[in-house]
Chains A and B, each alone.
Chain A
Amino acid sequence: MALRAQTGPYFGDFGGRFVPESLVAALDELGEAYDLAKLDPAFGEELAELGRSYTGRPSIITEVPRFAAHAGGARVILKREDLNHTGSHKINNVLGQALLTKRIGKTRVIAETGAGQHGVATATAAALFGLDCVIYMGEVDTERQALNVARMRLLGAEVIAVTAGSRTLKDAINEAMRDWVTNVETTNYIFGTVAGPHPFPEMVRDFQKIIGEEARQQVIDLTGGLPTAVAACVGGGSNAIGIFHAFLDDEGVALYGFEAGGEGAETERHAATITKGRPGVLHGARSYLLQDEDGQTIESHSISAGLDYPGVGPEHSWLAALGRANYRPVTDDAAMQALRLLTRTEGIIPAIESAHALAGALELGRELGPEATILVNLSGRGDKDMDTAAHYFELYDRENAR
Chain B
Amino acid sequence: MNTVGSVIRRRNDEASGALIGYLPVGFPTFDESVEAAVAMVENGVDILELGLPYSDPVMDGPVIQAATQQALANGFRLSDGFEAVRRITERVDAPVLIMTYWNPVVQYGVDRFADDLVAAGGAGLITPDLIPDEGAAWIAASERTGLDRVFLAAPTSTDARIRQVIDASRGFVYAVSTMGITGARSDVDRAARTLVERLSAAGAPASCVGVGISTAAQVAEVLAYAEGAIVGSALVNALATGGVAAVGELAAELARGTRA
Instruction: Digitize B173-217: 1 where CB-to-A-CB distance is under 8 Å, 0 elsewhere.
Output: 000100111000000000000000000000000000000000000
A401 to chain B, nearest CB (A): 34
> Chain A residue with minimal CB distance to B59?
A20
A294 and B152 form a contact (CB under 8 A) = no
Q: How far is the CA of A125 from the CA of B250 in the complex (A)?
A: 48
Within 8 A of B (CB), among A233-285: 280-284
Which residues does chain B contribute within 8 Å of A26, judged by CB atoms?
156
Please name all residues of chain B whose beta carbon is closer than 8 Å to the beta carbon of A294 when the two chains form the complex. Answer: 77-78, 104, 107-108
Closest 3 CB pairs of A and B: A295-B107, A25-B156, A295-B104
Known: A17-B134, A282-B103. A181 touches B181 (CB 8 A): yes
Are B131 and A280 touching (Cβ within 8 A)? no
Q: How far is the CA of A336 from the CA of B42 in the complex (A)?
A: 61
Binary flags per residue of B113-142, CB closer than 8 Å to A gives 1, else 0: 000000000000000111101100000000
Assess whether A21 is in contact with B69, with CB atoms less than 8 Å apart. no
**By the criterion CB–CB under 8 Å, are B179 and A22 in contact?**
yes
A314 to B151, CA, bound (A): 25
A20-B129 contact in complex given A164-B65, A291-B103, A296-B72, C-beta closer than 8 Å: yes
Beta-carbon nearest neighbor of B128 in chain A: A20
Contact of A174 among B57, B77, B134, B155 (CB under 8 A): B57
Interface check B22, CB cutoff 8 A? no
Contact with A along B97-115 (1 / 0, CB 8 A): 0000011111110000000
Chain A residue nearest to B104 (CB atoms) is A295
Would B107 and A293 count as touching, CB distance under 8 A?
yes
When distances are taken between beta carbons in the complex, the residues of chain A under 8 Å from B156 are: 22, 24-26, 184
B56 and A18 within 8 A (CB): no
Are A24's CB and B157's CB within 8 A? yes
On A, residues with C-beta under 8 Å from B are 16-22, 24-26, 164-165, 170-171, 174, 177-178, 181-185, 280-284, 289, 291, 293-297
Known contacts A182-B181, A291-B107, A294-B107, then 11 further A-B pairs from the complex at CB < 8 Å, ordered by chain A residue: A18-B102, A20-B176, A21-B153, A21-B165, A22-B156, A24-B131, A174-B57, A280-B106, A280-B107, A281-B129, A295-B107
Which residue of the partner chain A has the closest CB to B211?
A22
A22–B128 alpha-carbon span in the complex (Å): 10
Residue from B69, B72, B106 having most chain A Cβ neighbours under 10 A: B106
User: What class of interface size applies to chain B in its complex with A?
Assistant: 35 or more
| B134 and A16 contacting across the interface, CB-CB below 8 Å | yes
B58 within 8 Å of A (CB atoms)? yes
Q: Are the C-beta atoms of B157 and A21 separated by less than 8 Å? A: yes
- Select from chain B the residue with minimum beta-carbon distance to A284: B129
List the B side residues contacting A16 at CB < 8 Å.
Answer: 134
A280-B107, A294-B107 known; A165-B134 Cβ under 8 A: no
**A164 in contact with B69 (CB, 8 Å):** yes
Q: A170 to B56, Cβ gap below 8 A? A: yes
Which residues on A sit within 8 Å (CB–CB) of B61?
A: 178
Minimum CB–CB distance from B111 to chain A (whole Å) comes to 15
Q: What are the residues of chain B within 8 A of A165 when measuring CB–CB?
A: 55-56, 69
Q: Is B82 an interface residue (CB 8 A)?
A: no
Q: Which residues of A contact B134 (CB under 8 A)?
A: 16-18
Distance of A184 Cα from B176 Cα, bound (Å): 14
Q: Establish whether residues A21 and B154, one from each chain, have CB atoms under 8 Å apart when the complex forms.
A: yes
Listed residue (B57, B78, B107) with the most chain A CB atoms within 10 angstroms of its CB:
B107
Flag if A177 contacts B58 (CB, 8 Å). Answer: yes
Contacting pair B58 A24 (CB below 8 A): no
B161 at the interface (CB under 8 A from A): yes
Given A182-B179, A296-B55, A22–B154 Cβ distance below 8 Å?
A: yes
Specify the chain B residue showing the minimal Cβ separation from A283: B56
Q: Say yes or no for B158: interface residue by CB 8 A criterion.
A: yes
Q: A24-B131, A181-B180, A182-B180 are in contact. Are A296 and B104 (CB under 8 A)?
A: yes
Inside 8 A of B131's CB, which chain A residues have their CB? 17-19, 21, 24
Q: Are A181 and B158 CB-contacts (below 8 A) given A294-B107, A296-B54?
A: no
Q: How far is the CB of A182 from chain B (nearest CB, A)?
A: 4
- Chain B residue nearest to A19 in the complex (CB): B129
A125–B146 Cα distance when bound, in Å, is 51
Q: Check B129–A22 contact: CB distance below 8 A.
A: no
Bound complex: CA A170 to CA B54 (Å): 13
List 20 contacting pairs A-B, 8 Å CB cutoff, sorted by A.
A18-B129, A18-B130, A20-B129, A20-B152, A21-B151, A21-B165, A25-B157, A165-B56, A177-B58, A182-B181, A281-B103, A281-B106, A283-B56, A283-B58, A291-B103, A291-B107, A294-B107, A295-B78, A295-B107, A296-B104
B258 to chain A, nearest CB (A): 26
